[in-house]
Chains A and B, each alone.
Chain A
Amino acid sequence: MTHISQQNDTASYSSAFNAFLPDRVTEPQWLNSIRRDAFSLFQTEGFPSRNNEEWRFTPLNQVKETGYSRPEPVEHPSLEAIESLTGYSKTGPQLVFINGVYAPELSRNAIQTKGVQIGSISELLQSNDEILQPHLAQLASQTATPFVSLHNSFMEDGAAVILDANTQLSEPVTILYVTHSEQPIFMVPHTLVVAGRSSHASVVEVFASTMGANYFSIPVTEFAIGENSDIRHVRLNMEASNAAHISYTHAEIQRDAIFASHNVCLGGELTRNDFYAGLRGENIHCTLNGVYLGSGKQIIDNHTSIDHAMPHCESHELYKGILDGESQGVFNGKIFVRLDAQKTDAKQTSQVVLLSDLARVNSKPQLEIFADDVKCTHGATIGQISKEALFYLRSRGLSKTDAMAMLIQAFVADVIVRIPISELADDLNAMLPELLERK
């Protein structure tokens, strides 16, 4: 029985895949075989059920039942319309994708530093696929989640940031994935960042929509971070309020490198983010922070996994959530400390504030430790805005609403100000009152 129902769930994707394959005859052979393997894996696995521990709190009914189709070509919105969506504009390189397809007329990537390539994956596949071949669709394990294999089956475009050794980017690269469709479509935007030895860059991914359609975004972001490099990443989810967003981010990190990723979740009816950081060398500093604001019937589910495979590494994790309405938050933070990973220092903190009676949170901070000389701590708190703090502000003449807003802003700002791209942190901080207002 279960087998049959799985077949039905994946059936619409099967026909879409069969229609899609002939379009891809010109692509490099290596990618085509990855694609075919991925799809057969997806067909065998099907969607995860709620009996699957990893997907216990993630309801996938909407995703399974809506018959999403592949996007049709559309007329692109104007750059102003797109930049107004995100509320900030930057002068640095910016890649814009409409419904998962590169929009060169909206993008700015003329600033070419020597040894740095910033461009769309589709263009690179035609001009210079050798530089993508070692990494593309191979860092994130196909088996990590069924959505990675679904993504790889249909992956055709996205952003690539390739840094040679000793290169530096002075300004952050902004990647805008914009959905512009009235139809329920599914998209598989792919971001690949390959950082050579001692390189330095910041990458900002923004997910937004011009219309309120029910669509399904399945992004995968891959990082290959070389020795001694410093890569900063921000992912900003401002999806439409009834969209589904299931992402996977994978980082392979080599020795002496710094990787900091900040995950800001605001939009989407269903958001599920999986982060994986593999610490493959010594002396790595890895930060995975996140903040999420839930309201209405939103479900925001963040799974992080930090794999300490080598000694002398540090990892920090701070996740903060505010849940209002009937929203549901899920946090599952895993820290693995392998047998060889002595002198690991790992810290994980998850804090959630519930604002309404119907909001709900499931938190599972998980440690798996196989080495003895390590410092590992995790803390999880769930509570409400402190009555004392509220009283303090009110006693100074603030209305209850203002005092509340101020305290919530301070709670969230704690994560925002840690974003290691100062101009973005400032922007987001300035946007906070408006964002909270919208909630």
Chain B
Amino acid sequence: MPTTPGAIEDFASQEYKYGFVSDIDAVAIPKGLSEDVVRMISSIKEEPEWLLEWRLKAYRHWLTMDSPVWPNVSYPTIDFQDIIYYSAPKPKIVLNSLDEVDPEMLIVFEKLGISLDEQKRLSGVAVDAVFDSVSVATTFKDKLAEMGIIFCSFSEAVKEHPELVKEYLGSVVPYSDNFFAALNSAVFSDGSFCYIPKGVRCPMELSTYFRINAKDTGQFERTLLIADEAATVSYLEGCTAPMRDENQLHAAVVELVAMKDATIKYSTVQNWYPGDKDGKGGIYNFVTKRGKCDGDNSKITWTQVETGSAITWKYPSCILKGDNSVGEFYSVALTNHKQQADTGTKMIHIGKNTRSTIVSKGISAGNGQNTYRGLVRINAGAEGARNYSQCDSLLIGDRCGAHTFPYIDVRNPSAQVEHEASTSKIGEDQIFYCNQRGISTEDAVNMIVNGFCKEVFRELPMEFAVEAQKLLGVSLEGSVG
């Protein structure tokens, strides 16, 4: 989609659009992490005993683990005792309608361009807005409830549907999975929970806007999404965060479960604060996302547009357990200035005739370092499995880097695995061609970059596709010319 002339300049003059700190009193527990803190979080949230036990198991396991050093990113050692593990907006009241929401908070949402009323009235999107760690308002709930769809905050789900949470929590990402997943399991604050019952096609895109707000508060979201037999759901996740100088840690866990014939589409646009031009500040985004195609003929699609964060460390994965199940991964990752991204996917083929597609587009500009790291494993029993991977990198400027680490592990002779990767820059002849037809260099670059990403953008839901294109423009600001 061509952008109007001058759009880049407009973007270029913008400060990080969503960078502001709002003054809402936050209830916070003291800095640091200990068994007491885990117990405190659990008791504040009035959690049942089994969940506390689970958190404690995770915490004890976390103590035995070391922070991973294999990702191709560098950052100062994180002091896990210097983080506040829980904060909730105050006063904590039960809200039934938007009128009861703190007016200042509404203004914050307004600035973000996701005014709940607007969203409700215009877009037909149900928004579960997570402000810091506690969900304050959930819309369209009634409409979804009619169809038997459960879409609520995680804490609410623990209270209302403990049997579902107990059954599926940790079933895809066990607490012992990795360092940050263990940390999240011990201290997760809140998140979203979604259950689509048998045979139901969710009538609208489900969406959650996450915001990191209170200063020094690591955000530990936990999302659990279950699509029962033959259910279909599309889920959007978008993120913005205030500008500040101290690095903020974000270690979320997302678990998806797709039963027989179910389809889950999970889309993310991530534009957290990437730090300033010198790489100061910015979010550390260490996320574990994994989906399990549990039943036959199920399908999970991950689509992500990663433009933010100082450091991104994220591998949305699919475990293709059911026969004929399908996993897809479409990703655009952009790094500008001093951003670092180590992202990719894992496709674990277990069932027969399982198929997976990986399309990864990495764009590096400025001093950005972009790494694709992926694993395609075909287990011995995965008869007739098929994988196609493509990872392309685009380099803008001569101080950035693009890296590819694809792991391919095949144990079945009937498997067909293809991997292709290319690295290129925007050709001078391409720019010249556009200039010659009256398109400015900035617009030409924007056009070429959007064209480069088109295969991924067309997988995004409409609202996101538009936002994603704009985001790329903003994020590339200052990298051209």
B70 contacts across to A, CB distance below 8 A: 53
- Are A356 and B413 interface neighbours, CB within 8 A? yes
A371 contacts across to B, CB distance below 8 A: 395, 398
- Please give me the residue from chain A that is nearest to B420 by CB atom: A379
- Are A380 and B418 interface neighbours, CB within 8 A? yes
Residues of chain B in range 356-398 having any CB-CB distance to chain A below 8 Å: 378, 380, 393, 395-398
A339 contacts across to B, CB distance below 8 A: 398-399
- Are B422 and A376 interface neighbours, CB within 8 A? yes
User: Residue-by-residue, is B399-431 near A (CB-CB < 8 Å gives 1, otherwise 0)?
Assistant: 111111111111111111111111111000000
Interface-central residue, B393, B396, B397, B424, by most chain A CB under 10 Å: B424
Known A354-B415, A376-B422, A382-B417; contact A364-B403, beta-carbon cutoff 8 A:
no
- Are A380 and B401 interface neighbours, CB within 8 A? no
- Are B404 and A365 interface neighbours, CB within 8 A? yes
A361 to B398, CA, bound (A): 36
User: Residue-by-residue, is A353-396 near B (CB-CB < 8 Å gives 1, otherwise 0)?
Assistant: 01111111111111111111111111111111000000000000
A362 to B409, CA, bound (A): 4
- Are A362 and B402 interface neighbours, CB within 8 A? no
Interface-central residue, B378, B416, B419, B422, by most chain A CB under 10 Å: B419
- Are B417 and A372 interface neighbours, CB within 8 A? no
- Are A370 and B404 interface neighbours, CB within 8 A? no
A368 to B369, CA, bound (A): 10
Q: Does A120 contact B (CB under 8 A)?
A: no
Chain A nearest Cβ from B235, distance in angstroms: 32
- Are A357 and B396 interface neighbours, CB within 8 A? no
- Please give me the residue from chain A that is nearest to B371 by CB atom: A368
A359 to B418, CA, bound (A): 18
- Are B412 and A370 interface neighbours, CB within 8 A? no
- Please give me the residue from chain B that is nearest to A351 by CB atom: B418
- From A357, A372, A378, contact of B412 by CB (8 A): A357
Known A53-B70, A361-B409, A363-B408; contact A374-B423, beta-carbon cutoff 8 A:
yes
Interface-central residue, B70, B396, B402, by most chain A CB under 10 Å: B402
- Are A365 and B423 interface neighbours, CB within 8 A? no
B396 contacts across to A, CB distance below 8 A: 372
Known A354-B410, A361-B408, A362-B409; contact A370-B415, beta-carbon cutoff 8 A:
no
Chain B nearest Cβ from A146, distance in angstroms: 20
B418 contacts across to A, CB distance below 8 A: 379-383
Interface-central residue, B70, B419, B423, by most chain A CB under 10 Å: B423
Q: Does A342 contact B (CB under 8 A)?
A: yes
Known A339-B398, A372-B395, A372-B396; contact A383-B404, beta-carbon cutoff 8 A:
no
- Are B413 and A367 interface neighbours, CB within 8 A? no
- Are B415 and A383 interface neighbours, CB within 8 A? yes
- From A358, A372, A380, A381, contact of B406 by CB (8 A): A380
A354 contacts across to B, CB distance below 8 A: 410, 412-413, 415
Interface-central residue, B410, B413, B414, B425, by most chain A CB under 10 Å: B413
B397 contacts across to A, CB distance below 8 A: 372
- Are A364 and B421 interface neighbours, CB within 8 A? no
A187 to B415, CA, bound (A): 39
- Are A367 and B409 interface neighbours, CB within 8 A? no
- Please give me the residue from chain B that is nearest to A352 by CB atom: B410
A374 contacts across to B, CB distance below 8 A: 395, 423-425
B380 contacts across to A, CB distance below 8 A: 357-358
Chain B nearest Cβ from A115, distance in angstroms: 42
B400 contacts across to A, CB distance below 8 A: 370, 372
- Are B419 and A381 interface neighbours, CB within 8 A? yes
A363 contacts across to B, CB distance below 8 A: 406-410, 419
List residues of A whose CB falls within 8 A of some B CB.
53, 339, 342, 352, 354-384
7 tightest CB-CB pairs across the interface, nearest first?
A: A354-B413, A372-B395, A363-B408, A380-B419, A376-B423, A382-B417, A367-B404
List residues of B whose CB falls within 8 A of some A CB.
70, 378, 380, 393, 395-425
Report 5 cross-chain contacts, Cβ distance below 8 Å, ordered by A residue: A354-B415, A358-B380, A366-B403, A372-B397, A383-B418
